Structure 1
Amino acid sequence: MIDAPNLEELAAALEVSSDYRVLRRLRPREPVEGYDATETRLGLMVDVETTGLDPDLDEIIELAMVPFRYALDGMIVEVQEPFDRLREPTKPISPEITTLTGISDAMVAGKSIDPEEVAAFAAPAAVVIAHNAAFDRRFLERFSPVFSTKPWACSMSEIDWAAEGFEGTKLSYLAMALGFFYDRHRAANDCLAAIEILARELPRTHVPALVRLLDRARLPTWRIWAENSPFEFKDLLKTRGYRWNGEGNGKPRSWYFDVADAEKDAEISYLLREIYRYEADIRTVRVTAYDRFSSRV
C-alpha cells in the first residue's frame, strides 16, 4: 500500500509532465497568521437547494452559509465554521430534485430552518456572495429580510471567467480547472468550493478572484428598458443581449438590458438611432449591489 507522503510525491512527479494533470481533493483552508483583524471584512458565501426554480412557488430544502474573513487587499485569511440546515417542504420532493441535489424526503423529515437563527448568523456579513446570486437571492430574501439589507455579489456572473481563459462558469468546472475536486450536490460543500475558487489567483490578471469580484460588484449598473419598441426589431434586441420580461411582476412587459455605468449613454443613443428612430423617453433604473439580483429590480 502506498502511504500519503508517497502519493503526494507521485502527484508532484506527474505535474512535472505536460501529459498529466492532477486534481487534489479540496482540503480546509488554513488561516493566514499575522493579519490585523481590524483590517478585514466578513464575507458570507451562501447556497440553497430548493424544490424548484420559482421562489414564489418553490421552497428551500437546504441552506448553507459559510462566513470567511478577507483582508482589504482581497486575500482570504480565514474560513469559519459553516451553517448548514435541512428543511422539510410542504410538498414531497420530486424524484428529479432528489436526483439533482441528493436530498430525499427521508433526509428532511421533521427538519426546519429557524429564520431568526439565519438572520443572526448573516447579520455581521459585509457582503453576501453566491455562485448564481440571481437564483439564491430571490429565495433567501423571501425566507429572511436580513438578506435584503446586504450588498450581494455573484461569483458566476461578475467575474469575466472567459477573459481569464476559462471555458465555463459552473462551479465544478472552475474547481477542476484550478486543480481540485470536491463532493458535490451539498450546499456547504459548494460554498467551500466557491470560497476556494475566490481565494485563487486568476491566471491572466494575477490577482485573487475575490478582488475582481468585489471590484465589479461595487460598480453601479443601469437597467435599460426598451418599452414599446417596434416588434420588427425584437430579433435585433435579442441578438444584442436584451431579455424579455413577460411576467406579471409589476415591471414593464418589454425588452431590457443591463449595462455598466460608463456604457449607459451609448446604449441609449443606440436605441434612439437604431430601434426607435425618434426621440423616445427611455426608462432607466440605477442598480447597485444592494438590489442587484433581487426581485425588486
Structure 2
Amino acid sequence: MEYFQGEFHALALEGHPTYRVVRKVERRATYPLKIPEHARIGVLLHVDATGPDPDTDEIIGLAMLRFGYTEAGTVLGPLDVYAELRQPRKAIPKHVSRATGITPAAVKRRRIDKSEVGDFVQGADLIVCHDAIRARRICERYQPAFAHLSWACTRSQLPWGNEGVACSELPYVAYRQGFWFDEDPTDRLHALLQILEMPLPRSGRIAMTTLAEAATRETSQVWALGAPYEVREQLRDRGYSWHGGQDGRYRAWFREVDPARVEEELQFLDDLDVPDLAPLVTTIDATLRFSDRLF
C-alpha cells in the first residue's frame, strides 16, 4: 500500500513544473523468452581495483551483466549476472574502501575464478563499460579472454555534452534520466542497462543504438611524434592527450578523430611549424580501442 501511495504522489509531482521525480532503479528480471537467432549479446562490466593505475593496481571486485540486444539497438533484457570479490596481495587503501564500500574483511579469502570470467564473456559481441579506458586495460591483464573482444564506453562514446548533460559521471547521468541507484555494483549495472534503453535527452535517439554505431565505427589516431614541450598547450587545447609510452606504444601526444578529419589534423600539425615533428596516423576499431595493444 505504501508503494502505491508513494507512486500516486510521485505522479502528481511529475505533472507539476516545479518538481522533478527521481525513482530508484529496479533490478530487471531475466529475459523470459528465447533470444532470437539474429540477436546480439552484450556484457555490461564494472571493475573495482586497489587504485587508478591499470598497470600496477589489482582487481578487488568484478561485476558483469549479460544482456541481449538487436542490431537496431533494442535492448531485450538481462540474461545472467556475475559478481565476485577478490582479496589482493596488498592491503586495500582506506580511501579505496571509502569510495567502493569494499573492505579488507569483505574480500578476505575471496577470489575471482578466471575460467568463470572467461566463460561468462565468451561469445559476447560487445563489452560495455562506463570507464573503458581504465577497465579494459586492467581486465585484459587479468583475463586474456577480454583482449580480442569489442569494447564500448558509455562515458566517452555517448555525446552527453551535446545532449545537455554537463557531467558524464554515471550517478549524474542516471539522475538526468530520472532515476538513482545504490552503489552496489550489480545495481550500477542495472542502472547502466536502463540508460542504454532510454532515449537521449535532446536527440531522442536510443542510447544503445548510438553506442553500437560509435563502437563499430573505425577511427584514426593522429600521433604528434617529436612534438616539443613548447607546443604542449596548443596540442592540449586542440584535444590531444599525452601518452607516456609505458605500455610499449609511442611516447607522444595523440588525438583520436574521424578518418575524414585526418587531413585537417595533419594540416594543424604542419602549421605548428616544428622541424622535428613527425605525424603518424594509425587506424583503430572496437577490438583495439581503449586497449594497450598495438594489434
Instruction: Normalising by structure 2, report the TM-score.
Output: 0.94
Shift of the 32–190 alpha-carbon distance from structure 1 to 2, 3 Å rule, reads: closer
Aligned mates of 1:93, 1:55 — CA distance in 2: 15
Aligned mates of 1:296, 1:17 — CA distance in 2: 52
Contact 1:68 1:78 in 2 (8 A): yes
Contact 1:43 1:68 in 2 (8 A): yes
Contact 2:226 2:278 in 1 (8 A): no
Q: Which amino acid aligns with 1:223?
A: Q
Q: Which amino acid aligns with 2:99?
A: L
Q: CA offsets, 1:207-262, max 9 Å, x none?
A: 21011111111111111111112443221111111122234332222211111111
Aligned mates of 1:148, 1:36 — CA distance in 2: 26
Contact 1:230 1:276 in 2 (8 A): no
1:231-270 superposed matches below 5 A: 231-270=229-268
Partner of 2:280: 283
Contact 1:230 1:275 in 2 (8 A): no
Identical-pair percentage: 33
Shift of the 233–197 alpha-carbon distance from structure 1 to 2, 3 Å rule, reads: same
SS in 2 for 1:233: helix
SS in 1 for 2:47: strand
Aligned mates of 2:246, 2:154 — CA distance in 1: 29
Aligned mates of 1:31, 1:106 — CA distance in 2: 31
1:32 positional shift:
7.2
Aligned mates of 1:113, 1:35 — CA distance in 2: 29
Aligned mates of 2:250, 2:35 — CA distance in 1: 48
1:277 positional shift:
5.8
Partner of 2:199: 201
Q: Which amino acid aligns with 2:207?
A: A
Aligned mates of 2:278, 2:182 — CA distance in 1: 51
1:80 positional shift:
2.1
Contact 2:160 2:167 in 1 (8 A): yes
1:161 positional shift:
0.7
SS in 1 for 2:152: strand
Q: CA offsets, 1:167-197, max 9 Å, x none?
A: 111100011111111111x322221111111
Q: Which amino acid aligns with 2:38?
A: E
SS in 2 for 1:193: helix
Aligned mates of 1:268, 1:63 — CA distance in 2: 41
Aligned mates of 1:146, 1:118 — CA distance in 2: 8
Q: Which amino acid aligns with 1:181?
A: W
Q: Which amino acid aligns with 2:42?
A: G
Query: Does 243-252 or 27-36 show the bigger shift?
Result: 27-36
1:96-175 superposed matches below 5 A: 96-175=95-174
Q: CA offsets, 1:54-106, max 9 Å, x none?
A: 12211000000100101222111111231000000001111111001000010
Aligned mates of 2:229, 2:76 — CA distance in 1: 53
Aligned mates of 1:136, 1:27 — CA distance in 2: 25
Q: Which amino acid aligns with 1:294?
A: S
Question: What is the root-mean-square deviation in Å for CA atoms of aligned residues?
Answer: 1.9
Aligned mates of 2:47, 2:254 — CA distance in 1: 27
Instruction: Normalising by structure 1, report the TM-score.
Output: 0.93
Structure 2: gaps of 5 or more residues: none
Aligned mates of 2:204, 2:42 — CA distance in 1: 21
Q: How many residues of Structure 1 are paired with residues of Structure 2 in the alignment?
A: 294
Aligned mates of 1:226, 1:21 — CA distance in 2: 47
Shift of the 31–105 alpha-carbon distance from structure 1 to 2, 3 Å rule, reads: closer
Q: CA offsets, 1:110-168, max 9 Å, x none?
A: 01011011000110211101001001100100111111110100000001011111111
Aligned mates of 1:101, 1:31 — CA distance in 2: 26
Q: Which amino acid aligns with 1:46?
A: L
Q: Which amino acid aligns with 2:60?
A: I
Contact 1:156 1:169 in 2 (8 A): yes
Matched, 1:295 2:292: yes
Partner of 1:95: 94
